[in-house]
Amino acid sequence: MGEQENMRAYILELEGRLRAAEARAEAVEREAELQQSRAIELSARLSAILSISAALLISRDVDAIVQLVVREAASLFPGTSAAHLFLLDTENDTLILRAAAGVSERVSGRGLADMAILAPRSMLLVGPQLEIALAEVDEEEIASLRSHIPGWPPYSALLAPLRVESTRMGAIVLYGGVSAHLYHPRDIPFIQALADLTAVAIDEVLQRARAAALQRDLAITQSLHAEAQARLNTAQAQLLQSAKLAAVGELSASVAHEINNPLYAARNSLYLVEQDLAPDAPQRSFLAIAQQELGRIARIITRMRDFYRPTRAELAATSINTILRETLELVQTHLRHGHIHAVATLEPDLPATIAHADQLRQVFLNIILNACDAMPRGGDLRVTTQMLQARPEAPATIGVYIVDTGVGIAPEHLPHLFEPFYTTKAQGTGLGLAISAHIVTQHGGRITVESAPGQGTTFTILLPVSQ
Ligand code: ADP
Ligand code: MG
């Protein structure tokens, strides 16, 4: 009997222990399940963070980055009713909402962003803390947030400053609207990681843009510098050229002057001699030759003097086509003898331009005669005019092209052609092109040359149309 009772008591005790053990096992199992689900959540979040960082790494613009971040934030933190990303506008020192998930992007007001950007690190606000924080926010802003964020007021919020080193760039604010999914302290490292990734990605994009802008500026500065240098070089060369020409002009004018007096005396003397000669004296023929030659010298002297003397010729409305036609007319015989076939293609509606007609005639003559010299066995001479206007607001320009099929110009001669006294001809003066360039420059124009040795040469004269 006593034994039976003992036995029952023992069984009861055993049963009790068993139940306790079962309960413990259940608790352990529950704990294990919880741990497991946390582990799963953790690894899901880690892989989400990884894929976000990969995506951020290849993002090339700030908008793409902020959109991605708010989208991912909303899914990374379950229960989020709204995700806001603000960036600091450094010019006005204000926070601008750059992206939002879960709400209309037109939501006005920064809400908790002002607090978030000043926070030393990410933080979690729950319950009373959140109430206190929201009480600080402007009422109008709260009204705007209330109308945009479902389930207002939120039960918890996650705040994260965006910054790189000590520079504040903006903030992420997440509002948790579902009480079943209160944000948890273990969310903090994740929002912090997301914020850091975001800040670095944005910073990189901005740095890259800044570097590109700097590079562009540098390139522009460099090209401006090169341009200025080139202009300076041309100006200097032109100055030198003009100085040389002026010297030539002065020299020849004074030579002409010096020669003029003895020449006059010599001609006079010959005249006197002639007066005293018998009409049939045999010396008369020699005298005639001497007089003829002296006359030629006189004409050359006059030309020399006139050529370099600053012309008083009037500036007048001038037809470039007419001058070219006249010049070709002038050399007609010369061309025929040289077996040179000339073709003029002149633009019919070329406007008249204010110019020294005589001087321009001189220019065209110089260049055409050079072309003839370059075609000792004949060839083609093409003279073309064209109206040029690069852009409607650009000044109208007349282009004159004088093209020959002659011997061409060796590259080493090209840079020197317009220098006074530069000639490759035994009988050349080397002044034709120097004077031509001077005249064209005086007219505000430009003269250039292109040549292929053995194939021919093109001289281009650009003259601005002036009314
Ligand atoms: P010049 O005719 O007295 O030599 P220019 O100043 O007129 O002086 O010309 C300078 C040089 O330019 C010439 O000696 C010649 O070498 C070259 N040149 C000019 N025009 C042509 C051309 N159409 N074809 C080939 N060479 C040319
Ligand atoms: Mg010449």
Ligand 1 mutation target, pool 307, 331, 366, 417, most atoms within 8 A of CB: 417
Which of 225, 467, 246 is closest to 355 using CA atoms? Answer: 467
Q: What is the pLDDT of residue 302?
A: 79
Is it the case that residue 308 has pLDDT exceeding 80? no
Which residues contact residue 97 at a Cβ distance below 8 angstroms, ignoring those fewer than 6 apart? Answer: 84, 85, 86, 105, 107, 110, 113
The last residue of one of the domains, among 245, 275, 306, is 306
Q: What is the pLDDT of residue 355?
A: 92
Residue 338 sits in the same domain as residue 296 = no
Query: Cβ distance 344 to 325 under 8 Å?
Result: yes
Is it the case that residue 310 has pLDDT exceeding 80? no
Tokens 């989208």 identify what position? 71
Query: Cβ distance 67 to 101 under 8 Å?
Result: no
Q: Is the C-beta atom of 151 inside 6 A of ligand 1?
A: no
Residue 272 sits in the same domain as residue 362 = no
Residue 161 sits in the same domain as residue 275 = no
Domain membership of residue 49 (yes or no) is no
Number of domains in the chain: 3
Residue 84 sits in the same domain as residue 192 = yes
Angle at Cα 459 formed by Cα 416 and Cα 312, nearest 5°? Answer: 85
Domain membership of residue 33 (yes or no) is no
- For the chain, the distance separating the N- and C-terminal CA atoms, rounded to the nearest angstrom, is 142
Is it the case that residue 377 has pLDDT exceeding 60? yes
Is it the case that residue 385 has pLDDT exceeding 90? yes
Residue 202 sits in the same domain as residue 93 = yes
Tell me the three state secondary structure of residue 104: coil
Residue 255 sits in the same domain as residue 329 = no
Residue 103 sits in the same domain as residue 171 = yes
Q: For 185-203, what is the mean pLDDT? A: 90
**Atom 26 in ligand 1: residue holding the nearest Cα:** 409
Domain membership of residue 34 (yes or no) is no
Residue 104 sits in the same domain as residue 127 = yes
Domain membership of residue 86 (yes or no) is yes
- What is the distance between the alpha carbons of residues 163 and 390, in angstroms, rounded to a whole number? 51
Q: Is the C-beta atom of 429 inside 6 A of ligand 1?
A: yes
Residue 126 sits in the same domain as residue 95 = yes
Q: Is the C-beta atom of 404 inside 6 A of ligand 1?
A: yes
Tokens 């050079």 identify what position? 370
Query: Cβ distance 42 to 115 under 8 Å?
Result: no
Closest ligand by atom to 417 CA? 1
| pLDDT 10s digits, 145-179 | 888 888 888 889 999 999 988 889 999 999 987 66
Q: What is the pLDDT of residue 249?
A: 72
Is it the case that residue 97 has pLDDT exceeding 80? yes
Residue 279 sits in the same domain as residue 375 = no
Q: Residue 182 is part of a domain; what is its CATH number?
A: 3.30.450.40
- What is the distance between the alpha carbons of residues 134 and 175, in angstroms, rounded to a whole number? 11
Q: Which domain holds residue 260?
A: 225-306
Is it the case that residue 309 has pLDDT exceeding 70? no
- Confidence band, pLDDT 50/70/90 cuts, at residue 442: confident
Q: What is the pLDDT of residue 352?
A: 93
Domain membership of residue 46 (yes or no) is no
| pLDDT 10s digits, 276-303 | 888 888 888 889 999 988 988 888 787 7
The last residue of one of the domains, among 291, 306, 321, is 306
The last residue of one of the domains, among 306, 323, 345, is 306
**Atom 12 in ligand 1: residue holding the nearest Cα:** 417
Residue 342 sits in the same domain as residue 279 = no
Q: Where are the beta strands (DSSP E) in 332-375?
A: 340-345, 353-355
Residue 382 sits in the same domain as residue 435 = yes
- What is the distance between the alpha carbons of residues 58 and 441, in angstroms, rounded to a whole number? 56
How far lies 7's CA from each of 4, 17, 19, 21, in Å?
Answer: 5, 15, 18, 21
For residue 428, report the distance from its CA to the centre of ligand 2, in Å: 7
